[in-house]
Amino acid sequence: MARVLVVEDDQFVRSALIRHLTEASHTVRSVGTALEALREVAHFGFDVVILDLGLPDLDGAEALKMLRGITQVPVIIATARDDEAEIVRLLNDGADDYLVKPFSVEHLSARMAAVLRRAGTGAAAGAEADRAIRAGGLVIDPLRRQAELDGRPLDLTRREFDLLAFLAQRPGVVVPRRELLAEVWQQSYGDDQTIDVHLSWLRRKLGETAANPRYLHTLRGVGVKLEPPRESSRG
């Protein structure tokens, strides 16, 4: 069961989503404008937000940016727009997933379950989620979504945390970029710039650079691996 906020101005679509999500045992609140959505998120705790883009007061893309300014709650975009460039932009702006209308309730439920698993929220989170991942001076807590480096808390965005945790679970293994897009971004397509930008931000927070890596190593044309520095592994 999840706490869901439906942001949809079409009353017919909105009512159908509320009915089906409630039948699936989710707790649902709904609004029809972006400003109402911001107020709801500021006052109530949600596990996931389903956000329509065609809102009457503010475009959903702008609403997404404003939501990301106040919360890291997972956001699934529900849109009739299927332009690939816009979808990639929305994912890079903080959306966790997207669905192109019309979509089935079963499809939505599957996407919600996947987003909740990645976020470590609700019953969809596995028992493995509460096991801290350790790699050299890195300690990553998937359940609390917290990470430390040499005892110092790291201030990571949702995507940076997901990327770091995914690589840390496979220490020393070179992960192809296509796999990173599929597993971390939930995209079957995209360009390397998306990964490179997030790797660059993550490296800064880890106190390293591409030219002088400590944890994150890029193998040109192959992929990325996380490997603890040798001085940390000597004990």
pLDDT of 203 > 90? The answer is yes
Count of CA atoms in the C-beta half-sphere (13 A) of 129: 18
pTM, two decimals, is 0.54
From 65, 90, 124, give the residue that closes a domain: 124
Structural domain harbouring 152: 128-233
Q: Over the stretch 24-53, which tens digit does the pLDDT of each residue have?
A: 888 899 999 999 999 998 888 888 999 999
Q: How confident is the model at residue 190 (pLDDT cuts 50, 70, 90)?
A: low
What backbone torsions phi and psi does residue 51 show, to the nearest 5 degrees?
A: -115, 120
Which pLDDT value is given to residue 235? 42
Q: Which of 154, 158, 156 is nearest to 115 (CA)?
A: 158
CATH of the domain at 30: 3.40.50.2300
From 71, 101, 124, give the residue that closes a domain: 124
> H helices within 74-191, ranges in order?
84-92, 105-119, 158-168, 177-183
Which pLDDT value is given to residue 184? 82
**Which of the two residues, 128 and 105, has the higher pLDDT score?**
105
**Among the ranges given (9-18, 117-126, 135-144, 198-207), the one the predictor scored with the smallest mean pLDDT:** 117-126
Specify the number of domains making up the chain: 2
pLDDT of 172 > 70? The answer is yes
Pair (14, 115) in one structural domain = yes
Residue 179 tokens, joined: 């796999």
Q: Over the stretch 45-81, which tens digit does the pLDDT of each residue have?
A: 888 999 999 899 998 889 998 988 888 889 999 888 8
Q: What angle do CA 63, 68, 72 make, to 5 degrees?
A: 130
Q: Which of 119, 113, 60, 110 is nearest to 90 (CA)?
A: 60
What backbone torsions phi and psi does residue 204 show, to the nearest 5 degrees?
A: -60, -40
From 101, 124, 147, give the residue that closes a domain: 124
Q: Over the stretch 120-148, which tens digit does the pLDDT of each residue have?
A: 644 444 434 446 788 889 999 877 788 99
Contact by Cβ (8 Å): 14, 133: no
